Amino acid sequence: MSELSNYRANSGKLVPVFTIEVQTLPEDTDRILDEVMKVHPLSFGRYQRNASVSALGKETAQPEPSSTTTTHVDGFEVGSTETYPMVELKISIDRDLAEL
């Protein structure tokens, strides 16, 4: 089995990274990226603030007793389904545990 560190594609050398995936409300993506940029440039080549944002989807759950939803949302009934708009925000950084 060959090592990935020696793999070479037509577009260049394969560079392993850590990918961080966050499910969030669509309107929160810029705020999250702005906060990440305070500690990491999210750079790739000559580009900064590199990220991937998925198309709009939905997140759904049925909160159990004593969950945040059942504790803080007036009138929410345990076992009811909650559904929210959601996107997946993905960022990648070098495979460096100190950076992570």
3 within some domain: no
62 within some domain: yes
Q: How many CB atoms lie within 10 A of CB 78?
A: 12
DSSP codes, 31-74: HHHHHHHTT----BTTB-S--EEPPPEEEEE-PPTTSHHHHHST
Distance CA 58, CA 88 (A): 10
Residue 12 confidence class, pLDDT cut points 50, 70, 90:
confident
- How much is the mean pLDDT over the chain? 88
Residue 76 confidence class, pLDDT cut points 50, 70, 90:
confident
60 within some domain: yes
Distance CA 32, CA 47 (A): 18
19 within some domain: yes
Which residues make beta-bridge pairs with 87?
24
29 within some domain: yes
Residue 5 confidence class, pLDDT cut points 50, 70, 90:
low
7 within some domain: no
55 within some domain: yes
| CATH code of the domain covering residue 41 | 3.30.70
- Is pTM, for the whole model, over 0.75? no
4 within some domain: no
Number of H helices, E strands in the chain: 2, 6
- How many domains, in total, are found in the chain? 1
Domain that holds residue 80: 14-94
Residue 4 confidence class, pLDDT cut points 50, 70, 90:
low
